Structure 1
Amino acid sequence: MNELVLANAEAIGQFLDDHKCKDVNILDVSGQCSWADCFIIATVSSVGHLHGVVHELWGELNNLGLQVTNRHKKPAGDGWELVDCGDIIVHLMSAELRDFYSLEKLWQRREEE
C-alpha cells in the first residue's frame, strides 16, 4: 500500500472512530487483491448510526479528494454499507453481520496461503 493510500486510510479510520464506530480495522490487501489496496472495516451500533456515518463520511471523503464510485441517496437498511473509493473500500457493518462474514479472518487467511 502506498503512502497516500495509507494516509487516507488512517484519516478515514480516525473519522470513523471519532463518529463512534467500534473496532475500526485497516487491512492491507494490496498483495492479495487486484481491485483495492485496503479495506477499512468498522462496526456501527444501529441502522440509524450507519445512515448518519455514511452521510457524514461522503463529506470527509470529498475533503480528502477521494471519489466514491457507488454513491447512492439512501444507504441500504440491512446493516452493511460498502463505500468504494477505488483503492480504499470501507465496510460499515452491524456487529452481527461483521461477526457472521468475518472479513478480517477471510483476508488474513488469504494472506497466509
Structure 2
Amino acid sequence: MTDSEKPETPAADGDNRSLQLAAAAAQVIEDNKGRDICILDMRHLTPIFDYFVIGTGGSRRQLHAMSEEIDDKLEKEMGDRRMGREGYDESRWILLDYGTVVCHLFDEETREYFQLEQLWGDAKKVDMTNILRSPGE
C-alpha cells in the first residue's frame, strides 16, 4: 500500500475535528458581531492544544453572549465538552478551554494589552475566507 492509499490516521482526524471546532467558535463570534476574529494554528508550537480562536467584543453583555453561544454550539450541537472557563465574571478576557481548542474573548483594551497574536507570533493564522459566512446566510 502506498502512502497516498493509506487512510487518514486518527491524529489527522483529530486535527480536522479541532479545526471544525475552532471554525464553529469563530463563526459564533462573527454571528454575534465580534471583531478582529482570528484562528491561530498552534499545532507546531505546543502539544497542549491545536488552535486558538481570538475575538473582540464591545461590552460585557456581548462577551457573555459570545461565550454562552460558543458553549451551546460546541457542546450541544457538536458534542464536545468544555474543560474550563476563566474570566467570565470580570468579562475583560474570557477563556474557554475545549482541550484542543482554546477561545479567547477580549474587550478592546485587554486584547490590546496582552497582544496574543504577537506573543504567539510564530503561529500561523488560519485563512478564514472559506470558514466564516456573514450573519444571516
> Normalising by the residue count of structure 2, what TM-score does the alignment of the two structures yield?
0.73
Change in CA separation of 1:71 and 1:80 when aligned onto 2, cut-off 3 Å: closer
The AA in structure 2 aligned to 1:13 is A
Equivalent residue for 2:67? Answer: 54
Identity fraction in percent: 30
> Normalising by the residue count of structure 1, what TM-score does the alignment of the two structures yield?
0.87
The AA in structure 1 aligned to 2:78 is L
Larger CA Rg, structure 1 vs 2: 2
1:7 to 10, 15, 20: 20
SS in 2 for 1:108: coil
The AA in structure 2 aligned to 1:55 is E
Equivalent residue for 2:37? Answer: 24
2:82 to 56, 63, 68: 68
| Stretch of structure 1 that moved more, 81-90 or 41-50 | 41-50
2:113 to 73, 88, 100: 100
Alpha-carbon distance in structure 2 between the residues aligned to 1:25 and 1:5: 15
Structure 1: 4+ residue segments shifted above 3 A: none
Change in CA separation of 1:16 and 1:83 when aligned onto 2, cut-off 3 Å: same
2:94 to 71, 76, 81: 81
Correspondence 1:42 to 2:58: no
RMSD: 2.0
SS in 2 for 1:100: helix
CA contact (8 A) 2:24 2:73 kept: no
Correspondence 1:33 to 2:46: yes
SS in 1 for 2:103: strand
SS in 2 for 1:68: coil
Deviation of 1:54 (Å): 1.3
| Stretch of structure 1 that moved more, 11-20 or 101-110 | 101-110
SS in 1 for 2:22: helix
Alpha-carbon distance in structure 1 between the residues aligned to 2:85 and 2:73: 14
